Amino acid sequence: MPQLLITGGAGFIGSHSCLSFLEAGHNLVILDNYSNGSKEALKRVAQLVGLHDSKRLRLIRGDIRNKNDLDKAFTASDQPIEAVIHFAGLKAVSESFLDPLKYWDVNLSGSRSLLEAMLSYECKTIVFSSSATIYGCPQKIPIDETALVQPVNPYGHTKAAVERLLSDLAESQNGWRIASLRYFNPVGAHSSGVIGEDPNGLPNNLFPVVSQVAVGRIEELKVFGCDWSTPDGSAIRDFIHVVDLAEGHLAALEVLLREPPQMLTLNLGTGRGHSVLEVLNAFQKVSKRNIPYLIERRRPGDVACTVADSTMAEQRLGWKTKLNLFDMCKDAWNWQKMNPLGYQEK
Ligand code: WQD
């Protein structure tokens, strides 16, 4: 099976995807600086797979912006790297307003350095972690891939810029196999509760905030805006289970390896929207915990509603989400109650 390089493999989506790739028989080299990921997550992935041969999962601590670190990653295995799954990047919308320079450096310059290294090691197959955030305020719901790319925050602009770089590369040189996967809202955890979402510091995203309120780490949920033009006034998102998302990466890689060079740009979502208050109620039901909340003003950079049209991914990858909001809340809560402090040492 092809040797893969996974950048950012110690993160939330990265670690769940590493599990899927290992279960499918791939051997992995992980390059991660652990800025928003945990070595412990990868140790647990190895336990879940029952890995005894460390040759199948090699960890390189390093940064995608550092050429020496990239060289170490591309030469860590005696097998050549046949494909790169590129998760490494910064992804907090609110933080990107505060420090755009860091977001452009890590997300764009880091991706450029990675692509240069890929060329020098004759590897031209990449699955890129893009985001539905690049659509900004959608004209039409559900959103398909022909929708305007019009980000409304620096994070979204960096993701759109990397997509532009990838499509310029695909057009300029033959042989590139590229899949840019536009995630909607990844949430949940592996059903074992052994791995899950463990953001560094105070979480920005809804699901980790709700689950940390439920477990008592955070006092209450602040609902950012209840004056949106939606049925209950709170914003709507297309939450996708992280295990479904991981399977989408595996399906995309298999199509790239099987078909002639091309660039795929695909939405990965469920096609179903749920509001913030619906998530709150579902989580209370699943956890049997009361989740106190306060209605606050809207958060800069937010939009009322984003829901995916993922029919293109279903057709091109033969992939479809299987898990629903109840599964997402159940698995997120199972992880949180088994790991109240996340991966931190007890
Ligand atoms: C969802 C809704 C908030 C926290 C995220 C990531 C982005 C991308 C897509 C990968 C919004 C509301 C949130 C809270 C709240 N992921 N909310 N109180 O902004 O849609 O985007 O997923 O590429 O990286 O930022 O997700 O979970 O932050 O917010 O009311 O404490 O929940 O206002 O309406 P978002 P989110």
Domains of the chain and any CATH numbers: 3-345 (3.40.50.720)
DSSP of 243-261: HHHHHHHHHHHHHHHHS-S
Q: How many CB atoms lie within 10 A of CB 51?
A: 14
Show the CA angle centred on residue 60, arms to residues 56 and 65, nearest 5°: 135
- Residue whose Cα lies nearest atom 27 of ligand 1: it is 205
274 burial (CB, 10 Å; 0-12 / 13-18 / 19+) is buried
Question: For residue 208, which of 236, 190, 189, 224 has the smallest C-alpha distance?
Answer: 189
What is the DSSP code (8-state) at residue 298?
P
5 lines ligand 1 (CB under 6 A): no
- Average pLDDT, whole number, for the chain? 96
Q: How far is the CA of 68 from the centre of ligand 1 (A)?
A: 35
- Residue whose Cα lies nearest atom 13 of ligand 1: it is 206
What's this model's pTM, rounded to 2 decimal places? 0.96
The H or E element spanning position 182 is: strand 177-183
For residue 224, pLDDT over 50 is answered with: yes
Strand pairing report for 81-86 and 125-131: parallel
Q: How far is the CA of 37 from the centre of ligand 1 (A)?
A: 19
Distance in angstroms (rounded) separating the CA atoms of residues 293 and 266: 35
Question: Which pLDDT does position 52 carry in this prediction?
Answer: 82
Query: Which positions are annotated as active-site residues?
Result: 155
| Tokens found for residue 100 | 């755009």
Calculate what percentage of the chain has a pLDDT beyond 90. Answer: 91
Q: What are the two backbone dihedrals, phi and then psi, of residue 243, each rounded to the nearest 5 degrees? A: -75, -40
17 lines ligand 1 (CB under 6 A): no
| Tokens found for residue 23 | 């279960």
Q: How far is the CA of 90 from the centre of ligand 1 (A)?
A: 14
For residue 92, pLDDT over 90 is answered with: no
* Tens digits of residue pLDDT in 278-329: 999 999 999 999 999 999 999 887 889 999 999 999 999 999 999 999 999 9
Residue 131 Cα: closest atom of ligand 1: 23
Distance in angstroms (rounded) separating the CA atoms of residues 105 and 87: 15
* Tens digits of residue pLDDT in 15-69: 999 999 999 999 999 999 998 888 999 999 999 999 987 889 999 999 999 999 9
* Tens digits of residue pLDDT in 121-172: 999 999 999 999 999 999 999 999 999 999 999 999 999 999 999 999 999 8
Residue 224 Cα: closest atom of ligand 1: 30
183 lines ligand 1 (CB under 6 A): yes
| Tokens found for residue 15 | 């670690």
8 A C-beta contact, residue 62 and residue 69 = yes
89: Cβ contacts below 8 Å, ≥ 6 apart: 8, 106, 107, 110, 111, 129, 158, 159
Q: How far is the CA of 185 from the centre of ligand 1 (A)?
A: 7
Show the CA angle centred on residue 97, arms to residues 94 and 98, nearest 5°: 95
272 lines ligand 1 (CB under 6 A): no
| Tokens found for residue 26 | 């791939």
111 lines ligand 1 (CB under 6 A): no
Cβ-defined contacts of 173-177 (< 8 Å, 24+): 173/124, 174/261, 175/124, 175/261, 176/124, 176/125, 176/126, 176/261, 176/263, 177/83, 177/124, 177/125, 177/126, 177/256, 177/257, 177/259, 177/261, 177/262
298 lines ligand 1 (CB under 6 A): no
Distance in angstroms (rounded) separating the CA atoms of residues 178 and 195: 28
Pocket mutation for ligand 1, best pick of 157, 185, 303 (most atoms within 8 Å of C-beta): 185
Confidence of residue 346 (pLDDT cuts 50, 70, 90): very low
346 residue type, one letter: K
Question: For residue 150, which of 166, 162, 132 has the smallest C-alpha distance?
Answer: 132
For residue 345, pLDDT over 60 is answered with: no
13 lines ligand 1 (CB under 6 A): no
Pocket mutation for ligand 1, best pick of 90, 129, 237 (most atoms within 8 Å of C-beta): 237
